């Protein structure tokens, strides 16, 4: 009986530890989500600044291209450089959008689900654990009563046998 209670207690404690770990991890996940959202915001701002810079840079390149002499070659080189930087800006924009759509939004949705699931698991476990312990105690009590009764019957039979009465 004691070993069953110990095993029951150990398993219940393990389950409770897991649920508590889940509950304690919420602030970490929420902090990560908040920081990721801030990163997304800053990256969007960076993309906007890069676009403005590249527009101004393109104007300088166009001005240099439309002049006479050796400056025209410099203008062509600046235009090529601007085009390369625009592709970098496009990749940064793509990364920024992927960060929001593939990480931040799904994570925020899952955090709420995790909270609800963990709380429901905790409630269900507490209820089931309590019911199971009650059943084990009841069965144990019934077993003890039957063992006591069997000992009594056995001792009565031994007493009768020692007297010499045969059934």
pLDDT digits (tens, 9 = 90+) for 71-127: 888 999 999 999 999 999 999 999 999 999 999 999 999 998 988 888 898 899 889
Confidence of residue 14 (pLDDT cuts 50, 70, 90): confident
Residue 4 has pLDDT above 80, yes or no: no
Transcribe 52-106 into DSSP letters: HHHHHHHHHHHHHHTSSTTHHHHHHHHHHHHHHHHHHHHHHHHHHHHHIIIIIHH
What pTM was estimated for this model as a whole? 0.67
pLDDT at residue 150, as a whole number: 85
Q: Please report the domains of the chain, with CATH numbers, ordered by start residue.
A: 1-160 (1.20.1270.60)
Percent with pLDDT over 90 in the chain:
47
Mean pLDDT of the chain: 88
Query: Band of the pLDDT at 6, cuts 50, 70, 90?
Result: confident
């Amino acid at each position: 009986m004691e070993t069953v209670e110990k095993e029951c207690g150990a398993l219940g404690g393990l389950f409770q530890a897991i649920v508590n770990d889940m509950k304690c991890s919420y602030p970490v996940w929420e902090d990560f989500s908040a920081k990721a959202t801030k990163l997304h915001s800053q990256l969007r701002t960076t993309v906007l600044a890069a676009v403005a810079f590249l527009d101004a840079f393109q104007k300088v390149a166009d001005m240099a291209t439309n002049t006479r002499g050796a400056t025209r070659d410099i203008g062509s080189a600046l235009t090529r450089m601007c085009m390369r930087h625009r592709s970098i800006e496009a990749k940064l924009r793509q990364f920024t959008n992927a960060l929001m759509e593939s990480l931040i939004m799904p994570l925020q949705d899952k955090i709420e689900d995790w909270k609800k699931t963990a709380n429901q698991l905790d409630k269900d476990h507490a209820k089931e654990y309590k019911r199971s312990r009650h059943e084990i105690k009841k069965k144990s009590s019934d077993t003890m009563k039957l063992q006591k009764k069997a000992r009594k019957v056995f001792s009565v039979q031994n007493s009768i046998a020692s007297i010499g009465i045969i059934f």
